Amino acid sequence: MIFASQPQVNWSELFGNARAVDVEIGSGKGSFLLSHARLHPERNVLGIENQPRWARWIADRLARASLPNARVLCADASLVVARFVRDESVRAYHLYFPDPWWKRRHHKRRLMQSDFAGELFRTLEPGGVLHLATDVEARFAAMVDELATLPFAVARSDEPTPDGRPLTNFERKYRLEGRSLYYATFTKHRPRSGEIR
Ligand SMILES: C[S@@+](CC[C@H](N)C(=O)[O-])C[C@H]1O[C@@H](n2cnc3c(N)ncnc32)[C@H](O)[C@@H]1O
């Protein structure tokens, strides 16, 4: 049971430093999380994975890899972001191949519903970025539509990112299969000076 009075997470306490925080949602087997944390020791990286089996798998990998800037949390990311993440406290969200359930009957289980899009926006720092990738074109269009209702600058791409971020497990598999993949980044507008926030 979660009570409204429960405190929001203090990233500095969790990681033991005040570095910028990246959050990966739905980390699966954790390849991106580990590689990203290794490539960016100047950032803190949290993976949220709701399947205990995979969260444990990642925790084991993290323990072996000795990455002090990475953590994994086993929980529903939509709940965690809505209830426990402070306003403007996340530098980047990474949302890669989030929905294995793209059929109509699975609509309710989809992550990117309007409430969640709003929570991602609320918790991103000004200038912060949401990275999105999926292999389902219709889902991509729906997620872009959802996010486009918020003040984000949107950039679509045929490649993961210009800086060549590490691939995720699903991404590697889908690329080998020759599937079409869809990518976009959403950058939260910085308020202009004098603008009311
Ligand atoms: C298709 S897999 C992709 C895994 C990884 N991102 C990749 O690209 O290899 C989607 C992952 O998201 C997780 N997931 C789905 N909904 C979630 C939620 N609400 N909160 C946290 N994790 C979630 C699933 O358990 C699964 O591991």
Return the DSSP state at 51. Answer: -
Q: Examine the residue annotation and report whether 99 is marked as an active-site residue of this protein.
A: yes
Per-residue pLDDT of 160-177, as tens digits, reads 665 578 999 999 999 999
- Residue 164 buriedness (CB in 10 A; 0-12 / 13-18 / 19+): exposed
Give ligand 1 pocket residues (Cβ under 6 A): 25-28, 48-51, 54, 76-78, 96-98, 100, 111, 168-171
* Confidence at residue 1, expressed as pLDDT on a 0 to 100 scale: 47
Q: Tokens for 22, please give them.
A: 């990246």
Query: d(Cα 89, Cα 128) in Å, to the nearest integer?
Result: 9
Q: Which of 32, 126, 25, 127 is nearest to 81 (CA)?
A: 25
On the question of pLDDT at 3 being above 60, the answer is: no
Q: What is the pLDDT of residues 9-49, one digit of tens each?
A: 999 999 999 999 999 999 999 999 999 999 999 999 999 99
Report CA(190)–ligand 1 centroid distance (Å).
29
Decide: pTM greater than 0.85: yes
Higher pLDDT, 155 or 101: 155
Report the separation in Å between the CA atom of 48 and the middle of ligand 1, taken as the mean of its atom positions. Answer: 8
